[in-house]
Structure 1
Amino acid sequence: MKSVRFSLVLATSLTLAACAGRAPHPLADTSASRPVATAPAAPHLVTVGIAAFNDFHGQLEPPRQSVEMPDGKGGTRQVPAGGAAWLASAIDAVRARYPNHLTVSAGDLTSASQVASSLYLDEPAVGVMNRIGIDFNAVGNHEFDRGRQELLRLQNGGCTQYTARKPCQLETFPGASYRYLAASTLDSQGHTLFPATGLKTFGQGADKVTIGVIGLTTRTTPTLVNPSGIAGLTFEDEAKAINAAIPTLKAQGADVIMVLIHEGGKQGSQAGQSPDPQGCAAMSGAILDIIPRLDPGVDLIVSGHTHEAYICDLGGKNAALDKGHPLLLTSAGLYGKMVTDITLQIDPATHHLVSRSAHNVIVQSQPYQSAKGMIEPDPQLPVFAPRADIAAYVGRYVVAAQAFANKPIGKVSGPAARVDDGPVPLGGSLGNLIADSQVAATRNAGAQIALTNPFGIRAALLPAADGAVTYGELYKIQPFNSVLITQTLTGAQLKAVLEQGFDDNGLHQALSPSSALHYTVDFNRPIGARVVRITIAGKPMVPGARYRVTVNNFLAMGGDTFTALADAAKAAKAAGEADPVQGESDLDALQAWIAAAPKRQIPAESRVTVIAAHP
């Protein structure tokens, strides 16, 4: 099934008076509003509004995270944001501005979720989106975390069990009322796993306009999920899949082509300043390799995956990026902390998009205590009241999960940051703690060192004032239920693994090591030779020596592009060696490590030294 038609016919036509400019966005930061240049409105234009977001990841409750944005004084300010009930109100506020509107997501609605969603197989996250009333969601890589059959169940509903956890524990699951789209995900017969495209139509007669939607995920998905869950599926090149879908949409009457893609980019930032969520400065990332290869028929790209926020009105002026092709590129960060308000003006007579603009609306919610102090709402930004029906629905699952979430585990000496700032993502003190827990849990398998990936650490550790930590806090950090794998690596193989964190195959990240391992990375050296010093238990690593190394099963299978681990396991199997050894889950290991001490000290020492490249 290659496409699905999803139409809504509205009898309202919208006639706009000609104007030379535009008032500040009604949901914008009024302390720093900026005029947005738009084309003069022509007679009989039809306006369509789009509420867009991405990477919700089952964040039912406020995630106790902020949106960082410039303060207008050369620094930054933090704004508390997120939570399903607040996101619902923000989306309602955006949609209230437009008689004609649709709501879309660019993937990862589910998985890597909060405990109240994850314990129930993300059924409540789907239930939230049904109540919000989204129209389309592009399938993201995390939607494959529990395998294709479980993902199909999220769309179609039912209580068939495909995972270790039982479905339908609190209610019969009806499935998603919105449509998943997967233009680039093909089964063994060459058919898309979900429809490639969808349509939504507004107005009638001479004022009829149609939005065509293409949805797809990153082609790197096989490196990001458990291979067993996607067996028999292939992930095509993104540009190829998008271009192939455009003629179908045009033939079905689409006036505007919108792409929902679970792939993206990120802005550069200056020292001491965070990127502007309304900006598009010094962009980089995989989306920039896709855009120049797209058919000019694409008008709008709603992106995700990188968890970054940006608004790029390319306008056909950046030849290096858009090849003279005017289009709008957006992303709303992650966890429902922002929603993108997109305005399209379409001429129904010529079937052309006349103007487009966008603004990231911060879903400001309730204050919270962070590792750096109290984060308070900003009175200069809109504050959204939680939508009552969503709050009640979420509350039912939160209460049901409390027996697990509130279970005391032990105490720690203080908070631990998720990722250190610097030229490359580091797991920081929390990565150190996790790696230490994993090597301790696998000593019986001969483990000498452990490595964990910073991108797999999903939240900071924020204990109570007395250092107490609950199961729910730890679940936020490691929600994937990965199991630990201990295998033998030579010193040379270990170096090859570490080097893969700093090549150009995926984003840079330094694997967080347990206490015995220290290494130095020099970005002035060429790829493959950047790890310049490795010590194990205070002694230089020996290339020919054999070491027992523990990682989670995602990394062991080559996840996050660390393919040298999988290659080493294959080599060991071919040589007839009894390797690797499977252990307990990463979450169980972290719980046991914290519980084993009266107050577990957060390891603060730097185990990875990064030498940045000279300008």
Structure 2
Amino acid sequence: MASVTLALTACIDSDDTAPEVSAVDVKLIAINDFHGNLEAGPITLTIPDPSDPSKTIKIPVGGIEYLASWVKSLKAKNPNNVVVSAGDLIGASPMISALYHDEPTIEAMSALGLDFNAVGNHEFDDGSEELLRMQNGGCHADKVGCADGKFDGAKFKFLAANVQHSATGKTLFPAYQIKEFNGVKVGFIGMTLKGTKDVVTPSGVAGLDFKDEVETANKLVPELQKQGVETIVVLLHEGGFPADKKYNECNGISGPIVNIVNKLDKAIDVVVSGHTHQPYNCRINDKLVTSAYQYGGMVTDIDLTIDPKTRNVIKMSANNLAVTRDVPKDTVQTSLVEKFLKLVSPLKDRVVGSIAGPLTKTVTAGGEMLLGRVMADALLDATAGPNNGASQIAFMNPGGLRTELAPADASGKVTYGQLFAVQPFGNTLVTMTLTGEQIDKVLEQQWNAGVQKVMQVSTGFSYVWDKSKPDGSKVDLASIKLNGVAIDPKASYRVTVNNFMATGGDGYLEFVNGKDILGGPLDVDTLEKYVSKNPLLAIPNTDRISVLN
């Protein structure tokens, strides 16, 4: 049955002499999009200024030592608790976790008391076999990792209701799990976005099918109900975009999560979401819908009151809490962080060069970022020579830039760890030949079904797009120029991208048709070389992409 918010009333047997049956209170503690951010790094959250609510301030948040303390304090408030994650627990992680194949994050989350993690798209970055190793344990084939000589795998459960083996139709991980509290069962369905194949390197999702989120969840409702479950929680790695950054509100939310939740079965009560890295606290279609920001900077405290007779939720509420650093550190997590920091610090703290100022991810009207321009220029620089691919143009997908790059001190120095945080995927460069027509086609593929993914472009390349035009017709071919000269639709050009893009990642499908393919170095090594050869690297402020209307 649908969840409704009602004043809590006691449930009385028809026999007036029978004792009251108390309602059952259950606490859900939720995170999403942690991405291996174990350290208390430069993650901030904008909150109202305590001294002047009309203003806002930024506060440092996150770090597994503080997140664990926050979770522990919430668990202490109600023994009927469950800790859940809505995906991207691992993948695109900083060095402290990534260098050891994200085993440190799995260890940390097991120690935190995580119960369930719905797989997200980044869980598939290294393929399904590696993801199964995260669950089941065992050392990686390259022998890097297993810092203590072994890796036991996760103590929590991965869930993947809509991820099936193409050959058998069986799910990669269990579709759901059930937990019982004082005789009342609560079901947890875990899913990733159905478009995971579009945002992961094809090798990472080979042999897998990703099913529709709504159809998957709704089919499971009767199965859960047959087992006595009426309180149902969906952990979904898909999300939305609120109109503002008021993290405990839901003003003007848009995006895939809205359409999905509006179609979910009325028996589903709560949807813990993620993927978009946005904080929100919503009521959609009589369901509680939440998201807790990113990188462990926030935790969602969800309280459910359940009628033990009907097993339905009769009251529910949520509160997004900033994971501030004014609480004691969790000592278990401190030991884990210190162990892995000691192992990675010599590489992480190595100074590789300097930059003139912050390279931000703030997006211009045309869709460019300062950091994106620099990365595209680095790709071009690495592949422009006749012996390196003779590249003329480089493109960088915006999602491949994980964090901003700011000087580590007043001298402008930059460390390898900072560069790795920007480029943690281990992608390699690919140079190919495309015609002018193909370049136009791939530029049009930056807009698909209302989703905008504007590639960052290298110096000398420019074009104009019109936001009023429909998808597929936004770019004027005549406006596409290389070094001020309009490209020839029939002429051939050498173009560099990363291997994720080259295989159609992010929907840039025309790259798959490139000719004369030549492989190149790792993306992070490319960025390191570019920064090191350009002391106090200048900030590229000239717009390369223009937009009309």
TM-score (norm 1): 0.83
Alignment of 1:64 onto 2:36:
no
* Separation in structure 2 between the aligned mates of residue 131 and residue 279 of structure 1, nearest angstrom: 31
Alignment of 1:445 onto 2:382:
no
Alignment of 1:343 onto 2:288:
no
Matches within 5 A, 1:106-121: 106-121=86-101
- Aligned counterpart in structure 1 of residue 115 of structure 2, from 103, 122, 135: 135
Q: Specify every segment of 5 or more residues in structure 2 that has no aligned partner in the other structure, as ranges.
A: 11-21
Alignment of 1:195 onto 2:132:
no
SS of residue matched to 2:430: strand
Give the Å deviation of 1:60. Answer: 0.6
- The letter of the residue matching 1:253 is G
2:208 is matched with which residue?
233
Residues 54 and 332 of structure 1 are in contact (CA less than 8 Å); yes or no, is this contact kept in structure 2? Answer: yes
Give the Å deviation of 1:171. Answer: 4.1
- Aligned counterpart in structure 2 of residue 585 of structure 1, from 504, 522, 530: 522
1:558 is matched with which residue?
504
Identity %: 40
Give the Å deviation of 1:62. Answer: 1.7
SS of residue matched to 1:341: strand
1:32 is matched with which residue?
none
* Separation in structure 2 between the aligned mates of residue 160 and residue 279 of structure 1, nearest angstrom: 43
Q: Any idea what the Cα deviations from partners look like across 1:3-28, whole Å, max 9, x if unmatched?
A: xxxxxxxxxxxxxxxxxxxxxxxxxx
Q: Any idea what the Cα deviations from partners look like across 1:9-58, whole Å, max 9, x if unmatched?
A: xxxxxxxxxxxxxxxxxxxxxxxxxxxx9631112211100100100000
Deviates most, 67-76 or 404-413: 67-76
* Separation in structure 1 between the aligned mates of residue 373 and residue 149 of structure 2, nearest angstrom: 40
Which of structure 1's runs of 4+ aligned residues deviate more than 6 A? Answer: none
Q: Any idea what the Cα deviations from partners look like across 1:319-362, whole Å, max 9, x if unmatched?
A: xxx3xxx2110100110000000000000012111011101000
Q: Any idea what the Cα deviations from partners look like across 1:119-164, whole Å, max 9, x if unmatched?
A: 0000000000010001100011100101111100000011141xx5
- The letter of the residue matching 2:519 is Q
Change beyond 3 A, Cα 1:466–1:539: same
1:541 is matched with which residue?
487
- Aligned counterpart in structure 2 of residue 471 of structure 1, from 396, 413, 416: 416
Residues 5 and 314 of structure 2 are in contact (CA less than 8 Å); yes or no, is this contact kept in structure 1? Answer: no
Give the Å deviation of 1:588. Answer: 0.9
* Separation in structure 2 between the aligned mates of residue 69 and residue 226 of structure 1, nearest angstrom: 36
- Aligned counterpart in structure 2 of residue 104 of structure 1, from 68, 72, 84: 84
- The letter of the residue matching 1:467 is G
Alignment of 1:299 onto 2:269:
yes
* Separation in structure 1 between the aligned mates of residue 96 and residue 36 of structure 2, nearest angstrom: 9
- Aligned counterpart in structure 2 of residue 355 of structure 1, from 293, 315, 318: 315
- Aligned counterpart in structure 2 of residue 214 of structure 1, from 189, 197, 201: 189
SS of residue matched to 2:220: helix
Give the Å deviation of 1:439. Answer: 0.6
1:503 is matched with which residue?
448
- The letter of the residue matching 1:42 is T
Give the Å deviation of 1:92. Answer: 1.4
* Separation in structure 2 between the aligned mates of residue 491 and residue 69 of structure 1, nearest angstrom: 47
SS of residue matched to 1:601: coil
2:7 is matched with which residue?
40
Total equivalences in the alignment: 526
* Separation in structure 2 between the aligned mates of residue 488 and residue 263 of structure 1, nearest angstrom: 35
* Separation in structure 2 between the aligned mates of residue 540 and residue 266 of structure 1, nearest angstrom: 37
Give the Å deviation of 1:70. Answer: 4.6
- The letter of the residue matching 1:198 is Q
SS of residue matched to 1:199: strand
1:93 is matched with which residue?
73
Change beyond 3 A, Cα 1:607–1:165: farther
Change beyond 3 A, Cα 1:95–1:424: farther
Q: Any idea what the Cα deviations from partners look like across 1:535-594, whole Å, max 9, x if unmatched?
A: 21111222222111100011111111111212x23xx4xxxxxx2111111111111111
Change beyond 3 A, Cα 1:165–1:512: farther
- The letter of the residue matching 2:105 is A
Change beyond 3 A, Cα 1:146–1:216: same
Change beyond 3 A, Cα 1:263–1:425: farther
* Separation in structure 2 between the aligned mates of residue 395 and residue 561 of structure 1, nearest angstrom: 40
1:515 is matched with which residue?
459
* Separation in structure 1 between the aligned mates of residue 102 and residue 232 of structure 2, nearest angstrom: 30
